Structure formats: C-alpha cells, structure tokens
C-alpha cells in the first residue's frame, strides 16, 4: 500500500504541527486517507519567531508571528497576561492566542501596577 507525506495543522487555529503519512485507500487505488486538518502542500520555511498557519480563505500556508512561550503584560495595569485568556479591554472581552500580530493592549515590558490608596496588602 502506498503512502504520501502530508502536513498536519491544528484544525481550529491552522497552526502547523507536524509531518505525517496518509495511506492509500485499499479499495480506491490512487486516493489517500488524508487526516482532518492535514494538507498535501508543504508549509513554508519560516524564520525564528514565526510559525506557518493554514489560511482557509486562500487555501495556502502563510507565516505569522509566533509569541507562544513569551511573557506579556496588560498595558492598562501591568499585570501578567496568560495566553488565550479573556480580559476586558475598553469594556469588551479580548483574547490573544500567542500567534499573529500582538494587540496594542499587550506589551512585553513588565509594568508597575499602581498601588491602591490603602497601600500593599496588610498595611
């Protein structure tokens, strides 16, 4: 039975995950059982700091910024942001998964949260 190389992406985000093999269908020679979220087109080589992402609109891979593993802080108060969590920004819920352009409400620079009038806890 023949196999072909395919490129697996996360089915929700489109982020490239790994290379795998698709098996030829026994009862349909020449056709392959390609896993959900996998594509026959190879993702592009991307520089450090970027990741390949499948664009379903253009049916092609594209390179996007990759900030997973980095630490970001909320601009408004300097608190550390957990990737993928939902926060309120200008009265609306907002979230950043760690890839793509970093939104203006996040910064890689640690902030100094403003102390309340009562001082730090216990004072």
Q: Domain limits of the chain?
A: 3-65, 68-123
pTM of the model: 0.78
* Residue 116 confidence (pLDDT): 52
- CA angle, 47 as apex, 45 and 49 as ends, to 5°? 130
User: Which 3 state secondary structure label does DSSP give 76?
Assistant: coil
* Residue 123 confidence (pLDDT): 45
Q: Of 27, 25, 29, 53, nearest to 39 (Cα)? A: 53
Q: If you ran DSSP here, which 8-state letter would residue 89 be given? A: E
Assess contact for 69 and 33: CB atoms under 8 A.
no
Q: Of 63, 64, 123, 55, nearest to 99 (Cα)? A: 64
* Residue 53 confidence (pLDDT): 98
Assess contact for 86 and 95: CB atoms under 8 A.
yes
Q: If you ran DSSP here, which 8-state letter would residue 42 be given? A: P
- For the chain, residues with pLDDT lower than 50 are 118-119, 122-123
- Token pair recorded at residue 76: 């408004």
């Amino acid at each position: 039975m023949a196999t072909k190389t395919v490129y697996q992406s996360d089915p929700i985000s489109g982020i490239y995950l790994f290379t795998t093999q698709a098996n030829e269908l026994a009862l349909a020679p020449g056709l392959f059982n390609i896993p959900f979220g996998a594509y026959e087109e190879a993702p592009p080589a991307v520089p450090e700091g970027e990741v390949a992402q499948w664009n379903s609109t253009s049916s092609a891979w594209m390179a996007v910024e990759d900030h997973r593993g980095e630490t970001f802080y909320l601009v408004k108060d300097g608190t550390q942001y957990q990737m993928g969590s939902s926060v309120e920004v200008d009265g609306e819920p907002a979230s950043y998964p760690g890839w793509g352009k970093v939104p203006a409400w996040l910064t890689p620079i640690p902030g100094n949260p403003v102390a309340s009038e009562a001082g730090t806890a216990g004072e």
